[in-house]
Amino acid sequence: MSEDLATLRQEIEDTPLGTEEAIDGFRIRFLSRKQGVITALMKRIPDIAPENRKTYGQDVNALKQRVEARLEEAQQALSSSNAPGTDQTDITLPGRVVPEGSLHPLTQTMDLIVHAFSSYGFQIAEGTEIEDDWHNFTALNFPEDHPARDMQDTFFIEEGKTLLRTHTSPVQIRVMKSQPPPVRVIVPGRVYRNEAISYKSYCLFHQVEGLYVDQGVSMADLKHILHAFARTLFGHDVRMRFRPSFFPFTEPSAEVDIWWPDPDLPGGGRWLEILGCGMVDPNVLEAVDVDPEVYTGYAFGMGVERIAMLRYGIDDIRTLYENDVRFLKQFKS
């Protein structure tokens, strides 16, 4: 047994480690967890006579330490030889290419949406992701028994008091509480829903909501701004439609679809929902001390993930959160 250890000790000292490949091979041979020599020696300890186990274990540990020391010495020597200014530097070689990063497709989409509405005169407002029940639900005209208050939809921190916001609308409430009309803001941010994760839903996502409150604001104003926005994102020939819907905080309410051409589908395409909108419910205005007899307003909200998936042809929302470099490299701006 001692002869075997002596042979390995000599091999450790004599193995040349002048390249990255040699260093890597040396490390795998001696330190690999599955087939490494040191690992195999450690596994043999139970077979050693009890009176010799301590000495054997010390000898194997010494071999391991020497392997690690040689690896460190070799890495340092190799780094020094490649350092700028040394004799081994070949200045005729092309320079190293610095990897070029890019903005995440969600960030690019968010920036595009924010820029579009900023150009229409909307100010940007942001708020905390941890909210209280009043700002997230009550002030937005959610009845006490509304399904959105149930645990399957909301991440509660303290039941009935604090939660992770389920939409960015609480920021609109805070803005209207802090300043009198006119109010024209967009609210980009991250929101959370206690939903099952699938190709079309995730436990967190991003929204951009808009709010405009002033005297004489009408549904026609809402349609005009959303049509202008759709042309900015999807081209001047975009087709869109409004469908009646229901949201607690708007009345009347609507969902907006755009026509998505697809020659493989009957009719040459399909309608895809991109956002919800409506006129601000008078109850919401009263909750923030704005007189609904004097002021009216509209609000809209869209999921950034949905817009990004449409723009880039992504069919699984989970792809946006896996941080696969191969995926992200496709979005260099």
Do 75 and 207 lie in one domain? The reply is: no
Whether 135 maps to a domain, the answer reads yes
Mean pLDDT for 48-53 is 83
Q: Which of 95-99, 159-163, 179-183 has the highest mean pLDDT?
A: 179-183
Domain with 10, as residue range(s), is: 2-82
How much is the pLDDT for 81?
Answer: 66
Whether 92 maps to a domain, the answer reads no
Is 139 a residue whose pLDDT tops 90?
A: yes
Do 66 and 112 lie in one domain? The reply is: no
Whether 63 maps to a domain, the answer reads yes
How much is the pLDDT for 228?
Answer: 93
Do 185 and 304 lie in one domain? The reply is: yes
Is 85 a residue whose pLDDT tops 60?
A: no
Residue 189 — very low, low, confident or very high, per pLDDT cuts 50/70/90? very high
Least confidently predicted of 53-62, 120-129, 131-140, 235-244 = 53-62
Do 134 and 276 lie in one domain? The reply is: yes
Mean pLDDT of the chain: 88
Whether 52 maps to a domain, the answer reads yes
Residue 110 — very low, low, confident or very high, per pLDDT cuts 50/70/90? very high
Do 142 and 42 lie in one domain? The reply is: no
How much is the pLDDT for 180?
Answer: 92
More confident residue, 57 or 295: 295
- Reduce the secondary structure of the chain to three states and give it as a string: CHHHHHHHHHHHHHCCCCCHHHHHHHHHHHHCCCCCHHHHHHHCHHHCCHHHHHHHHHHHHHHHHHHHHHHHHHHHHHHHHHCCCCCCCCCCCCCCCCCCCCCCHHHHHHHHHHHHHHCCCCEECCCCCEEEHHHHCHHHCCCCCCHHHCCCCCCEEECCCEEECCCCHHHHHHHHHHCCCCEEEEEEEEEECCCCCCCCCCCEEEEEEEEEEECCCCHHHHHHHHHHHHHHHHCCCCCEEEEEEEECCEEEEEEEEEEEECCCCHHHEEEEEEEEEEEECHHHHHHCCCCCCCCEEEEEEEEHHHHHHHHHCCCCHHHHHCCCHHHHHHHCC
Do 71 and 196 lie in one domain? The reply is: no
Is 84 a residue whose pLDDT tops 60?
A: no
Of all residues in the chain, the percent with pLDDT exceeding 90 is 44
Whether 95 maps to a domain, the answer reads no
How much is the pLDDT for 97?
Answer: 82
Do 48 and 140 lie in one domain? The reply is: no
Of all residues in the chain, the percent with pLDDT exceeding 70 is 95
Q: Which of 7-16, 22-31, 98-107, 127-136 has the highest mean pLDDT?
A: 127-136
Convert the pLDDT of each residue in 67-78 to its tens digit.
889 888 888 888
How much is the pLDDT for 3?
Answer: 61
Do 303 and 172 lie in one domain? The reply is: yes
Domain endpoint, select from 48, 82, 116 = 82
Whether 15 maps to a domain, the answer reads yes
How much is the pLDDT for 101?
Answer: 79
CATH number of the domain where residue 160 is located: 3.30.930.10
Do 68 and 117 lie in one domain? The reply is: no
Convert the pLDDT of each residue in 258-288 to its tens digit.
988 888 888 888 898 999 999 999 999 999 9
Do 112 and 6 lie in one domain? The reply is: no
Number of domains in the chain: 2
Is 230 a residue whose pLDDT tops 60?
A: yes
Do 244 and 109 lie in one domain? The reply is: yes
Mean pLDDT for 290-300 is 96
Is 83 a residue whose pLDDT tops 80?
A: no
Do 146 and 78 lie in one domain? The reply is: no
Whether 281 maps to a domain, the answer reads yes
